[in-house]
Amino acid sequence: MKKTINLLLVMALLFRCIFLMPLVSFAESDKLKIPRLLSIPVSFQEPITSNNIASGDVIPVVINKDIYVEDILVFKRGTDGVVFIDSSKKGGRWGSAGKIKITSGKLTDVFGTQHSVTISEREKGDSKPSAKILPAIGAVVFWPLLLVGLRKGDQAVIPAGKIVYAFTTDSVKVDTSKN
């Protein structure tokens, strides 16, 4: 009885090694590892100003260049993605400048996997220092100079078509057999 059980176990082990192991290695060959910090150029489809966006807004972007990993197309030029507005401040009175800060987004590869990306994009409008200095100097002598303080600083603007670089945040294995 023991010999029969041992023989069955040895045959099962051989069966697994001969027939099932090649299937596992074949399945692994359909996996592609997309590295962390892969650089992907993206551009904005429409102009963005600090006057018309708010923190948390989702802004569309488009991938600007085909990106290959191990000679396999991973990100296709023209594919849409999104970035998230981290913070936005309108230009205001006393010459304070508008500001826009973008730090994250999502891009989809050709296999349908969505990737989180980091972006370091900050824009700042022009401040108007004269709107702070002149009222302070002339407040005593020329009180009408206080009206200069009503002058607003410029809004921050990201023009349509501006290219920024997005970087993948994690190393991800994708199934290339889906394509």
Which CATH number is 46's domain given?
Answer: 2.40.128
Q: What is residue 31's predicted lDDT score, i.e. its pLDDT?
A: 86
User: In which domain, by residue range, is 95 found?
Assistant: 2-178
pLDDT at residue 27 is higher than 50: no
Higher pLDDT, 142 or 11: 11
Q: What is residue 24's predicted lDDT score, i.e. its pLDDT?
A: 46
CA separation for the pair 106, 94 (Å, rounded): 37
pTM of the model: 0.69
**Burial (0-12, 13-18, 19+ Cβ within 10 Å), 3:** exposed
pLDDT tens-digit readout, 47-76: 999 888 999 999 999 999 999 999 999 999
Please measure the distance between the N-terminal and C-terminal CA atoms of the chain and give it in whole angstroms: 51
Instruction: Please state the domain count of the chain.
Output: 1
Q: For 155, what's the count of Cα atoms within 13 Å in the CB-facing half-sphere?
A: 13
